[in-house]
Chains A and B, each alone.
Chain A
C-alpha cells in the first residue's frame, strides 16, 4: 500500500473545514484581543494561538500516521495513563478561577482533561470492540440496564476525576461521548435514553431540593448559580446573567452581515467577557453577523458529515466507534458553546473547538480529527 493511495483517500473536505475553522479562530482571536496587549504586544494571543495551531496540525499528521488499530490495541494502556494523569492533576494541579485543571510542565501549562477526552475515546472504543469480539452476542450491545454496568464503570471513573477538579463541562462531554459511542455500538436506545432522562430528572430534583430545602449538592456555588441563571434568564443581568446577556446583545447586534471585522462595539469596548476563549462565537456573531455564524456552523457540520461517512465506511467497529466518539465530543462542544453564547444553554465554560483561544483544546481537537482521518485512510482491508 502506497502513501500516494493514502493521500488520495485522505478526506480533504474534512481537512479543509478544520483548517478553515482554525483560520477563522485566528482572525477573531486577533479581533478579540487587539485591545488588550500582553507585555505591550497586542498580538500576543494571536501569536500564541498560531504557534499552537502549527503544533496541533503537526500532531494531527502524527495522529494520521500511526495506524489506529495499533492505538486501539494500546487502549487499556492509554486508559490507565489517562486515569493516572487525572489523579495527578487533582493532587498537584494548578488552580485557576477556583478550579484545579491545569498542570505546569516546564514553561507550558496544559489541561489534562482536554487530552483525557481523546484518551477516553480511544480507550472506550477499544473496550467496546474488544467486548464485542469476545461475546457470543453480536456487538458490545446493551440490552438491559445490567449490561451497561461495565461501560458505566469504565467511563464513570475518569468522569468523576474530571468532575472533582471541578470541571462540570468536561464531565458532561464524557457523558456525551459515552452515549454517542454506546448508541452506535448497538445499544438499545430505550435503555440509553431512559438512563439520560433519569439522570436529568434526578438532577432537576436535586436542584429543587437544594434551592428549597438546602440539600447539599456536589457542585460549587458558581455552578449552581449558572444553572439557576440559565433557568431564570434576565433575573440577574449585572451578576451571573451578565455574560449571557452581553453575549446575546453582541450576537444580535451583528444582524445579517455583522458590524465588520474588529468593529464590534461589544467586543472592542470590553462588554463581552472571556471573548477570546469561551465567548469567541459572540465576537463572530457581532462582527460578521448571521452569515458568519451560519458559515461557522456549516464548517462544523462538514466535519461531522465527513466523519459519519468515514465511520460508515470503516472496516471495523473499533474505527467507527473511534470516529463517533470524536464527533460526539466535537458536536457536544459546539452545541453547548453556541447554545451558551446564544442564551439557550447554561454557562458551562466549554470552549468552541478550533476557534477558542487555548492550546490544549486546539491540540486535542486536531489529534481527534487526525484520528478520524486515520480511520478514513485505512478503510480498506489491507493484505500484506
Chain B
C-alpha cells in the first residue's frame, strides 16, 4: 500500500516507524511504573492509607458518664450530678494568638497566663479539648457566644457536674472531685484500680481508664469508690472536615453511668453532730478565748454494725467549690479537707483508762472491791503526778468510782502494779506491753479498715530497744504518754466496750447500686472480731462508764435530764501546746447499746466541757428525745 519511490526514503520511513514504536515502549514502561506505584499505594499499603484517611476525618470525643450518686441511709441525696456548661478549647492546628487567649481569660475570669499553662499540660494530647472552665455562668456563656468569631477552637459543651445538695454536710466523708492534672496523679489513680475489679467483673464492666483532665474523686468516698462511681465514659466518633468542623456523628458508644452508693450516714444525725460541734466550739471560744477549740473531730458509730452514722471534722469545706473547677489555694484546702476523724492523731488522755482497767482486771492485779486512796497526787520515784481533782483528792475509790470520777491516782497505781507484774516476768518489758496486748483487740493498733482513703492511725507502743523511763511507762495507764490515736480508733474502742468485746470494722457504704439494683451489700458481721476479755470485766468497766453520767460523775451535767442511760468517759489530754485537748467517748443506751462515739476538740480544755454537750445532742437526736436543751456540762 505504502508506495516508496526510493530506497533511501524507504529506510528513512523504517527508521521513523522503529523509533515510533520505541517511543511507545518507553511510554508503556513509564506507565508501568505509575501502575506499580498505584499498586503499592492502593493494594500493598491500602489499609494503612485507609486508616490515615479515617484518622483525618474521625475525631474521638469522650462523652462523660454521669457519676454515681451518694445517698444517706434513708435515701437522702448527698451527692449527685447535674448538667452544666463548660468552655473548652480545641486545638485547631494553629497557634493561638495572645489576643485570643487574653479575651478568653478576661471573659472567663481566669488568671492571666492560665490558658498557656493548660496548653503546656496538654502537650502531645492536643486532639482532646482543653477544659478552661466548668459550670460557666449564663453571663459568661452569652459573652463567649458574642465573641465566638474571634475565638477559634472554642467549644461550649454540656458536661455533667458534681453537685452536693447538702453543701458542706459530711464533706469529709463524701470527699470531693477534681481534675487529674498531672501524669503522676493519673498513675496514682491507676495503681489502685484493681481494688474493685471483682465487683466490676460481676457487673460486667471493664475497669475504666484514667486520662488527663478526667474528673475523678480526690478525697473521701469519692476517691475510695471512684472506680465504681465514675462509670465508663462513652465515645462519640465525630466526622470532621478539613477545617475540623464537625459534619455528623458517625457512631456513639453510650456511656455507662456510675454506680451509686447508699451510705450508713444518717444525714439528720450528721447535721445535729455538725451543728452541735460548731455551737459548742463557739461557746468554748466565747467562754475561754479564741485560742480554745480551734479544730475538732467527731464520729458516731452504729455499735451493732460498725456503720458510721455521722462523721464531722472541723474546719470543714463545701465540696461544691471544686466540682466547678474553681481553685482554692492549696494550703487552705489542706487544712479544711483534712479529715481529722481518720487522719488526725490525738493523745487519748483519760479516755484510755478503760483500757488500763480491762488490763488490770484481766491480769488480776485488782478486783472491783479494792479501794485505792487518792490524796490528790501519786509518787513515781522522786517525782509526783497530780490527780486532776487536786488536794485533798478523791479519797478511797474502787474501780467503778475511779472511772466515774476519772481518778488518776487509782489508775497510776494500776499502772505501777501492772508494770511490776510485767517486769517480774521479763525485766525488759513494762506496762505498755501488757496494755498493748489487750489494746490491739480494741482497734487501738493500726488502721481500723474504714472505707476511706489515706487513713492514719496510731499504734499501741511496746517497749522496744529504747529505754522507757518508769514515769513514761506508768503514765500510759492514764493515756498521757506515748499513745496517739485517731478519733475513729477511739470510737471503735468505745463501741467494742459497749458491745462487750465484739469489734466491728467501721464502714460508710451500706449498699452499692447499679441503677435501682443493689449489687453489693455490706456484711459487717463477716469482718467482726472478738476480744479475749471476760464479761465480768466488761461489766465493771461499763458500770464505771455509766457512773460517769450519774451524779458526781464527770459527764453528769450533760446527761442528767435524759431518760436514756449513757455510758461515757471524759478525757483531758496535755499536748505540746496548751490549752489541753478535750476528749469524750461513750455509748448509749447503756443496757443495749446502739450508738458509740468519740469526740475530740483540739484545745477544748476538757472532755466534759467540749465533748459531752455535743454527745448529748447526738443522743437526743438519735433517740428522738425532746427535753429542753440543757446548759453546759459540769467541769
Residues of A within 8 A of B (CB): 138-139, 180, 183-186, 238, 246, 248-256, 265-266, 269-271, 285-286, 289-290, 293-294, 297, 300-301, 304-305, 308, 311-313, 315, 317, 320, 324, 327-328, 331, 334-335, 338-339, 342, 344, 380-381
Contact = CB atoms under 8 A, between A and B. Distances in A.
B196 interface: no
Interface string B17-29: 1011101100110
Nearest to B8: A138
A269 B241 contact: yes
A290 B42 contact: yes
A295 B24 CA distance: 18
B543 interface: no
Contacts, number: 148
Contacts of A339: 34, 37
A8 to B, nearest CB: 15
Interface stretch (B45-53, B209-217, B484-492): B45-53
A235 B1 CA distance: 59
B43 A308 contact: no
A253 B53 contact: yes
A304 B27 contact: yes
Nearest to A305: B24
Contact of B37 (A180, A320, A328, A344): A344
Given A254-B42, A342-B34, A327 B27 contact: yes
B383 interface: no
30 contacts: A138-B11, A138-B12, A139-B12, A139-B16, A183-B19, A184-B19, A184-B20, A186-B19, A249-B53, A252-B41, A253-B49, A270-B243, A271-B53, A285-B38, A285-B42, A294-B35, A294-B38, A297-B31, A297-B34, A297-B38, A304-B27, A308-B21, A308-B24, A312-B20, A317-B12, A324-B20, A324-B23, A335-B30, A338-B38, A344-B37
B86 to A, nearest CB: 27
A286 B243 CA distance: 20
Q: How large is the interface on B (under 10, 10 to 19, 20 to 34, 35 or more residues)?
A: 35 or more
Contacts of A238: 93
Nearest to B46: A255
Contacts of B20: 184, 308, 311-312, 320, 324
A93 B46 CA distance: 43
B577 interface: no
Contact of A251 (B30, B47, B49): B49
A308 B23 contact: yes
CB-based closest 6 A-B pairs: A252-B49, A255-B46, A253-B53, A290-B42, A270-B242, A308-B24
Given A311-B20, A381-B3, A255 B43 contact: yes
A271 B242 contact: yes
A293 B38 CA distance: 8
A350 B383 CA distance: 107
Contact of A301 (B15, B31, B54, B93): B31
Given A184-B16, A186-B15, A289 B42 contact: yes
B2 A315 contact: yes
- Greatest chain B CB density within 10 A among A186, A285, A305, A312 is at A312
B84 interface: no
A320 to B, nearest CB: 5
B382 interface: no
Contacts of B50: 252-253, 255
Nearest to A245: B52
Contacts of B8: 138
B240 interface: yes
Nearest to B49: A252
A256 B242 contact: no
A77 B106 CA distance: 72
Contacts of A249: 49, 52-53, 56
